[in-house]
A = this chain, B = another copy of it.
Amino acid sequence: MRDTTTLQPGLSVDCVIFGFHENELKVLMLKMKKMGKWALPGGFVDRDKDVDTEANNVLKRRTGIENIFLHQFHLFGKVDRNRPNHASNLLDNGLIDSKFKSWFEQRFITVGYYALVEYANVQAPKPDPISEKCEWLPITELPELILDHRQIIVKAHETLKKELNHQPIGLNLLPEKFTMPELQALYETVLEKKLDRRNFRRKMLSYEILIQTNERRLGGAHKAPTLYQFDKLKYKQAIDGGLKSGW
């Protein structure tokens, strides 16, 4: 714990870090020591640092990744969101020193950010001193979370769904090369609904943001699908213009 006098009082940042693996949307979470509950990676904001900067630092500290898709999506400002026993619980479980108790007892608001990262790029996520581990958890089966962190994740997911129409998110969540079925599985997972295989392909190709390689993904007992990669320039242009209509 840093010297709290350099921190902006009552303000924190929490990051909902999304990854995609085995056809599941996952969130990077920390398991608190003793308490057993899970928490979003977060941080406190230095008085002399931008809020965005701290969000980037959180992402860097837990994943080692920099300069990746990271969007602020909501401020959670209810007065009782860390009341009434959060500080006491932290203290009782030996997670903070008693001299910091009053710091944690004050009313806290938190700024929610969501990040899209390539699952394979985060091999060994790093827990913080008060957490016993840092792991990917499927968004569909979350355990008990501290405070309003479940609500924060729900809101992040809702935002991601809406943004999907304005930003082809695949670039950030998928590896360099991927197949059309894999891209579709990502969309179906985020949107929580099935899409027609042939219509999906037609529409996705119509954006003209994909480059077809001459490689195929072998190994399955069926026709080997072609590998694609994003045309990053056209991808950026498509985002700026906004994708026409939705899914």
In the assembled complex, which residues on chain B have CB atoms less than 8 Å from the CB atom of A52?
77-78
Q: Does A97 contact B (CB under 8 A)?
A: no
| A10 nearest CB across to chain B (Å) | 6
Q: Does A75 contact B (CB under 8 A)?
A: yes
- Chain B residue at minimum C-beta to C-beta distance from A77: B51
Determine the interface band of chain A, counting residues with CB < 8 A from chain B: 20 to 34
- Chain B residue at minimum C-beta to C-beta distance from A51: B77
The A1-60 residues at the B interface (CB cut-off 8 A) are 8-11, 45, 47-52
In the assembled complex, which residues on chain B have CB atoms less than 8 Å from the CB atom of A78?
50-52
- Chain B residue at minimum C-beta to C-beta distance from A9: B9
B9 & A77 in contact (Cβ 8 Å cutoff): no
A51 & B109 in contact (Cβ 8 Å cutoff): yes
Q: Pick the contact of A246 from B45, B111, B162, B245 — CB < 8 Å?
A: B245
Complex Cα distance, B162 from A6, in Å, reads 38
Residues of A that sit less than 8 Å from B by CB: 8-11, 45, 47-52, 72, 74-75, 77-79, 106-107, 109, 111, 162, 166, 245-246
